[in-house]
Amino acid sequence: MSFDAGRFSKKKSEESEDGFMVCFSSLMILLLTFMILMVTLAQVKEPRFRKAIGSVKGAFAFLPHIGGDNPTSDGSAGFLPEELPGDPEATEQEQPGAYEQAVRRIRERAERPELAGLEIEERKTGLAIRASDALVFARGSAQIREDFLPVLDLIADAIRIRPGRVSVVGHTCDLPIDTDGFPSNWELSTVRAVSVVHGLEDRGVAPGLLYAYGLADQEARAPNDNEENRRMNRRVEIFIAHDESQS
């Protein structure tokens, strides 16, 4: 049997070149992946970080995570720490005058005749917004009216620009309620506050900033001795506490 050394050497050389090209191509793909990730994270912002991690989840499937389910399966970053309220690296930087413009837009909306009952008050510690229940909800309901959603959009804009603790408080008058959904005014006031909280969350407000309270008729603005006063007492109040670290 003859042994063709030249053919064997040529075949071995071709296999080596093929192996080198596979390794080289894989290395280039990984380097490109890292470049895209670094460019994406040039300004470190947690929501962008989560999207970036999700987009390269195949390449980083080996990263550790917290919890039983693999967080890369849904594009989230479960191994990241929870976003802290007021964390300057986790919120958009406030542009000069942006917050004032957002508050002015709420005030302009409140001046419309159809929104009588919407009040805005700026305080040293934050922004207080009061809306009569008739503006926000139908009688005996916790479903937010479509007409009030544009106002909720503006409120959410102001919160995103200058994040801080957001307290939503539901109030009722003294007239009792007893329905399948609301056995008492405590349930009605609480569920209404929660509905507003969900509305703000749906508009991009960080859940960690939101708090809901239902006080029924315990903090009346006026005596519940006539219908006008009762209308005044049925309300939703939103207080946005200024976070000094964002000022």
* pLDDT tens-digit series, residues 15-66: 666 677 777 777 888 787 777 767 665 544 444 444 444 444 444 433 343 3
> Region 90-95: what's the mean pLDDT?
54
Q: Are strands 210-214 and 166-171 parallel, antiparallel or unpaired?
A: parallel
Which pLDDT does position 51 carry in this prediction?
Answer: 44
Question: What is the homologous superfamily of the domain 98-246 according to CATH?
Answer: OmpA-like domain (3.30.1330.60)
Q: What is the pTM of this model?
A: 0.61
Return d(Cα 56, Cα 110) in angstroms, integer: 45
Give the whole-angstrom CA distance, residue 46 versus residue 89.
Answer: 7
d(CA 121, CA 124) in angstroms, rounded, equals 10
Buried/exposed 95-123: b ≥16 CB within 10 Å, e otherwise = eeebbeebbebbeebbeeeebebbebeee
Q: Which two tokens stand for residue 42?
A: 């040039």
Q: How many CB atoms lie within 10 A of CB 50?
A: 17
Do residues 189 and 215 make contact, with C-beta atoms less than 8 angstroms apart? yes
Chain centroid to CA 174: how far? Answer: 34
Are the CB atoms for 169 and 235 separated by under 8 Å? no
